[in-house]
Amino acid sequence: MSDRVYVIGADMIRFGRFEDETPPSLAAKASLLALDDCNVGIQDIQAVYSGNCGETMVGQRMLQIIGQTGVPVANVTNACATGATAFREAWMAIRAGVCDLALAVGSEKMAKGVLVRKNRAGDAVPREGLVGSETMPAVFAEMGMEHARRFGTTLEQFAMVSVKNHFHSTMNPKAMYQKETPLEEVLGSEMIAYPNTKLMCSVNVDGSAAAVLCSEKKMKSLGLSKRAVLVKASALASDPFTPRNTVMPDLNAVTQLAANAAYESGGIGPDDIDLVELHDCFATAEICHYENLQLCAAGEGANLLQSGATTLGGKIPVNVSGGLLSKGHPLGATGIANVCEVVMQLRGEAGARQVENARVGMTHVVGLGSACAVHILERI
């Protein structure tokens, strides 16, 4: 077994709409980029973990494009935590000593517009509109309104999340949208589900991202210690029981559970984190997750944002990539794309959006249903 597992290669395509691509072809593009990032060939990879929400056997079908090596492939799905779950599977395989070098890849082809949920068993009539709303913007709006109820958070404060993340995106050539949006523009865009306006919703796009992980021994034998990044902690949680969980997915509790586990297993605390890429699928979520990830005390999330602490140059920059709000959110790819950002930052290769002296970074995703994955990465 290998106690220390490293990311040696990580890259993503710029997300967008690719009519002629398939999930396997998208996955192939990101995988080749990540392999090239560490000068490793597909023939060197001993296991593949592929994340995708919409299709089956994407990992194998990707290898049919870039090289059928016969290695074990597992396809994972975990809603918006899918990519991070594939990454964690690769981490576990290496940590367990089953292999030394593994590829984690996430991909997705998305439909446009609001995600539609399948009709549930037990209901004669579809629930949407009849029993409130189950669209993603509505679910995350209700999460934000719960925060507003507890702490008085305002529409303007939630909108400031989009102002910040869209500002960051202007420094990320791989963000789908690279455009600043002043507060008035965010507030003035189409209301989707109060308080989330259109510019406070991540966009459903196609995309892929990949990471190559390896053991300490392998990392040294490949001579990659200069650019390797240590996986300091990996945590995955399912939603623990809370009283309203069956009617209102409790994404706070599941994030708190995963964050606590990551801090504990990494032997570090929130003060040690230099940057965070968290799951800003909707602007309302980001303020809640500041608190869930212990970047500030409960109720202090909006103040933390308004103080500038989470803006590039602040005490704990959050989503300097532009976040899901700017990059787009191809479900299966998202969790690995945020690993790509943190790896780039810890290597000091992030250009204009580089967080100064970044040593330790955190990634966070939640999947509705619910799952939360938190990873802590460290420069060595």
Partner 1 sequence: MSSDALKAATQFVALNEKSEPYLVGSRCEACDQLFPGLRQHCAGCYSRDCMKQIDLGTHGSLYSYTVVHRSYKGVSVPFVSAVVDMDGGGSIKGTMLNVPPDPDELTFGMPLSVVFRCASCINPEAEGYVSHFFTPALDA
Residues carrying an active site annotation: 80, 329
Interface residue with partner 1, options 64, 72, 97, 127 (CB under 8 A):
127
Dmax (CA) for the chain in angstroms is: 61
Name the 3-class secondary structure at 8: strand
Q: Is 116 in the site for partner 1 (CB under 8 A)?
A: yes
Smallest gap from Cβ 327 to partner 1, in A, equals: 21
* Closest C-alpha among 105, 110, 29 to residue 333: 105
Smallest gap from Cβ 23 to partner 1, in A, equals: 24
CA–CA gap between residue 377 and residue 336 (Å, rounded): 13
Interface residue with partner 1, options 141, 325, 331, 346 (CB under 8 A):
141
Interface residue with partner 1, options 20, 112, 241, 356 (CB under 8 A):
241
Q: Is 137 in the site for partner 1 (CB under 8 A)?
A: yes
Q: Binding marks (x or -) toward partner 1, 181..220, rule CB under 8 A?
A: ---------xxxxxxx------------------------
Helices (H) and strands (E) in the chain, counts: 12, 11
**Secondary structure in 3-state letters for 78-125:** ECECHHHHHHHHHHHHHHCCCCCEEEEEEEECCCCCCCCCCCCCCCCC
Interface residue with partner 1, options 19, 20, 112, 122 (CB under 8 A):
122
Q: Is 314 in the site for partner 1 (CB under 8 A)?
A: no
CA distances from 165 to 42, 52, 377 (A): 35, 25, 21
Q: Is 97 in the site for partner 1 (CB under 8 A)?
A: no
Interface residue with partner 1, options 128, 185, 272, 300 (CB under 8 A):
128
Q: How many CB atoms lie within 10 A of CB 62?
A: 31
CA angle 232, 293, 164 (to 5 degrees): 105
Q: Is 298 in the site for partner 1 (CB under 8 A)?
A: no
Interface residue list for partner 1 (CB under 8 A): 114, 116, 120, 122-133, 135, 137-138, 141-143, 145-146, 148-149, 190-196, 241, 243-248
